[in-house]
Amino acid sequence: MNLTYKAQLILSLILILLANILTEILYHWIYRSAGFILCGLLWIVHPVLPHGAEVSKRTLLWVRIAGILLILIGIFTRVHI
Q: What is the pLDDT of residues 31-76, one digit of tens each?
A: 888 999 999 999 999 888 888 888 888 888 998 999 999 999 888 8
- In total, how many domains does the chain have? 1
DSSP states of 30-42:
HHHHHHHHHHHHH
User: In terms of Cα–Cα distance, which of 73, 63, 77, 75 is closest to 9?
Assistant: 63
Q: How far apart are CA 9 and CA 39, in angstroms?
A: 9
Residue 47 lies inside a defined structural domain of this protein? yes
> Containing domain of residue 56, as a range?
5-76
70, part of any domain:
yes
Q: Whole-model pTM? A: 0.83
User: Is residue 81 in some structural domain?
Assistant: no
